[in-house]
Amino acid sequence: MAPSEMTDIPKKTRTGIAALTGANLVAAGILLSRVAGLIRERVFAHYFGNSDAGDAFKAALKIPNFLQNLFGEGVLSASFIPVYAGLVSRGEKDEAGKVAGAIASLLALMVSLLVLAGVLATPILIDLIAPGFHGEKRDLTIRLVQIFFPGTGLLVMSAWCLGILNSHRKFFLSYAAPVLWNFAIIVALVSFGGHSSQTHLAVVAAWGLVIGSVLQFGTQLPVALRLISNFRPNLSVQLQSVRTVIRNFLPVVVSRGVVQVSAYIDSMIASFLPSGAVSALAYAQVIYLLPISLFGMSISAAELPQMSSATGTDEEIAAFLRTRLNSALRKIAFFVVPSVVAFAVLGDVIISAIYQSGAFTRDNTVYVWGVLAGSTIGLLSATLGRIYSSGFYALKDTRTPLRFAVVRVVFTIVLGLIFALVLPKALGLDSSWGTAGLTASAGIAAWIEFLLLRREMTRRTGHSGIPVDFQVKLWSAAIGASAVAFALKFAVQGVHPVLAAVIVLGPYGVIYFGVTSALGISEAQKITSKLTRRLRR
């Protein structure tokens, strides 16, 4: 559509088109990076399986990732984008450039100090996060963490680039850039995997991660700098806009921090479970996070700048947010509901296609499937909760999501200890299945957080949510499609896992889209209509 044609479209419609295009670009970038991530995980699983070296690498990666998640994409999106995007939309480009320079400088200083402290304090961190690791396994984990930290600092700075790019509606690059990060690790694994011990290969892969971090940051930085007017690095906090970013930054950091503490407690609990538990948890999380990233993150990332630019009276802003929330919730549910059913019913097909090779055996597939099935309990709520959090951030309210994140963490910890360490013994199960208990308990806690977020948002903007009849149609279509796919699963036994996945998952997706389209679901009808038009060309 040409720019001249866009001017003839009402403002609200143009906003909707921009958000939809942005969500598509984010989803495309995330899809590329996630596919690269799945390839990376398949290669990793081929060489490490559920081994001690694999456990060490996965546990080590979680520790510096705390820094990335604490100060990275989500935090800067919530605190920086609403302020910077608002200045850009009002034409205050000079002040926007000054704000960008100040935040970049302050963030770089803070990250540098934290990276240095993290490298020096690694042995203490290992004892806190993975107290169940001993001997060579612990020593390897310490070495890997110290290698990871500098690369993770660059990934935090990449999040600043993402904030700039998203504010200027340049959505694709920042979400596709992690392809380079994954590619560097894959090259390291393949290049040395055939003639290295698992311990040495883990160290090589760690250096590949650092090189990938340099590539990911270096790709985005020149583009981000070209978009900024009057960019001058400085440490000044004199501007009110800079102080607003910092004021909003702190509650989001704390919110992210308590969530990360929860994740690390899960990892700590898993370190007391039999060997392979930490790796299995990480393998399952890669798959579990795919729909959250593709649908929850892409839609939320595109909606945040749009919702942040809402103007008018309080009632008009509330109505605008409510409309955008309801639309986004429908889109997310349409894609996540079939993901939940597929993970629960067909999870072994998905896992075997991605991981089952070399050291990763069929027994590993069944184990990770159990862990993945536990995570389906909270998959929908965790994804929907992202759009509600974005709504609060658009209202410049970062404290409400913080309060509810704390509640979620408390429930995750308490339930996690019960489900992982107590319940398996009470049910007479092998203790290794406590890993599935961890993911299930986290899912219950995610539902509690989601319900609290929705209730508070309803109080501020009016009722929002997904209509019951819409949900019934989605679940019915997904369950019906899974019944057919489940039957196909038994017909392809003995077939190569990748081919079996195509035979089983292909019809599942086609049936789901066909049934939902026949039931009048507009999201399905739009997709099938586009596909039909393309096939006719």
In terms of C-beta density within 10 A (0-12 exposed, 13-18 middle, 19 or more buried), how is residue 431 classed?
Answer: middle
- Please identify, among 421, 449, 466, the residue that sits at the C-terminal boundary of a domain: 466
- Please identify, among 433, 451, 466, the residue that sits at the C-terminal boundary of a domain: 466
Q: pLDDT digits over 80-100, tens only? A: 877 887 788 778 888 888 889
Clarify whether residues 406 and 519 are in a common domain.
no
Radius of gyration in angstroms for the set of CA atoms belonging to the chain, rounded to a whole number: 23
Q: Under a CB-based contact definition with an 8 Å cutoff, are residues 51 and 276 in contact?
A: yes
pLDDT at position 535 = 66
Distance, in Å, from the CA atom of 353 to the CA atom of 341, rounded to the nearest integer, reads 17
pLDDT at position 19 = 47
**Looking at the domain assignment, is residue 349 inside a domain?**
yes
Q: pLDDT digits over 41-62, tens only? A: 889 888 888 788 888 888 888 7
pLDDT interval class at 17 (50, 70, 90): very low
Which is nearest to 445 in space by CA: 514, 522, 525, 378? Answer: 378
316: tokens are 């008009």
Rank 157-161, 168-172, 255-259, 484-488 by mean pLDDT and report only the highest: 484-488
SS3 category, 360: strand
For residue 427, the tally of other CB atoms under 10 A from its CB is: 9
pLDDT at position 14 = 42
Clarify whether residues 443 and 514 are in a common domain.
no
Q: Under a CB-based contact definition with an 8 Å cutoff, are residues 266 and 442 in contact?
A: yes
pLDDT at position 129 = 67
Clarify whether residues 305 and 447 are in a common domain.
yes
DSSP 145: H
**Looking at the domain assignment, is residue 332 inside a domain?**
yes
Distance, in Å, from the CA atom of 296 to the CA atom of 328, rounded to the nearest integer, reads 9
Mean pLDDT across 164-184: 86
**Looking at the domain assignment, is residue 363 inside a domain?**
yes
Q: pLDDT digits over 297-347, tens only? A: 777 777 777 777 666 788 888 888 888 899 899 999 999 999 999 999 999
Distance spanning both ends of the chain, measured CA to CA: 19
Mean pLDDT across 28-35: 81
pLDDT at position 58 = 83
**Looking at the domain assignment, is residue 2 inside a domain?**
no
Rank 46-55, 82-91, 231-240, 468-477 by mean pLDDT and report only the highest: 468-477
DSSP 421: I
**Looking at the domain assignment, is residue 31 inside a domain?**
yes
pLDDT at position 330 = 92
Which segments of 221-329 are extended strands (E)? none
Rank 18-32, 277-291, 495-509 by mean pLDDT and report only the highest: 495-509
Q: Under a CB-based contact definition with an 8 Å cutoff, are residues 483 and 509 in contact?
A: no
251: tokens are 């509650």
DSSP 170: -
Residue written as token pair 């990449």: 158
In which element (H, E) is residue 135 found?
helix 135-167
Clarify whether residues 531 and 430 are in a common domain.
no
Residue written as token pair 């997709």: 527
Clarify whether residues 460 and 473 are in a common domain.
no
**Looking at the domain assignment, is residue 237 inside a domain?**
yes
Q: Count Cα neighbours of 330 within 13 Å in the Cβ-side half-sphere.
A: 16
Distance, in Å, from the CA atom of 336 to the CA atom of 32, rounded to the nearest integer, reads 18
Mean pLDDT across 261-283: 77
Clarify whether residues 273 and 175 are in a common domain.
yes
Clarify whether residues 385 and 506 are in a common domain.
no
> Residue 15 pLDDT more than 50?
no
pLDDT interval class at 34 (50, 70, 90): confident
Q: pLDDT digits over 187-226, tens only? A: 999 999 877 888 999 999 999 999 999 999 999 999 999 9
Which is nearest to 335 in space by CA: 531, 526, 523? Answer: 523
Count of positions (residues) in the chain? 537
Report the b/e string of 378-387 with b at 16+ CB within 10 A.
bbbbbbbbbb
Total domain count, the chain:
2
Distance, in Å, from the CA atom of 59 to the CA atom of 144, rounded to the nearest integer, reads 9
DSSP 72: S
Residue written as token pair 């609290």: 452
Mean pLDDT across 71-80: 69
Clarify whether residues 379 and 504 are in a common domain.
no
Clarify whether residues 84 and 126 are in a common domain.
yes
Clarify whether residues 64 and 190 are in a common domain.
yes
pLDDT at position 13 = 42
**What's the 3-state SS for 159-204?**
HHHHHHHHHCCCCHHHHHCHHHHHHHHHHHHHHHHCCCCHHHHHHH
> Residue 436 pLDDT more than 60?
yes
**Looking at the domain assignment, is residue 426 inside a domain?**
yes
> Residue 74 pLDDT more than 70?
no
Q: How far is CA 190 from CA 42, 223, 381, in A?
A: 11, 31, 37
> Residue 258 pLDDT more than 70?
no
Query: Has this prediction a pTM greater than 0.85?
Result: no
> Residue 12 pLDDT more than 70?
no
Q: Under a CB-based contact definition with an 8 Å cutoff, are residues 379 and 232 in contact?
A: no
Q: How far is CA 146 from CA 22, 140, 173, in A?
A: 37, 10, 29
pLDDT at position 302 = 72
Task: For residue 517, give its domain range.
Answer: 468-537
- Please identify, among 466, 482, 513, the residue that sits at the C-terminal boundary of a domain: 466
> Residue 468 pLDDT more than 70?
yes
**Looking at the domain assignment, is residue 339 inside a domain?**
yes
DSSP 378: G
Q: pLDDT digits over 365-423, tens only? A: 999 999 999 999 999 998 898 889 888 888 878 789 888 988 988 898 899 889 988 88
Q: Rounded to 5 degrees, what are φ and ψ at 72?
A: -90, -140
Query: Taking all residues of the chain, what is their mean pLDDT, rounded to a whole number?
Result: 84
Clarify whether residues 454 and 499 are in a common domain.
no
Clarify whether residues 150 and 181 are in a common domain.
yes
pLDDT at position 211 = 95
pLDDT at position 260 = 62
Beta bridge partners of 360: 357
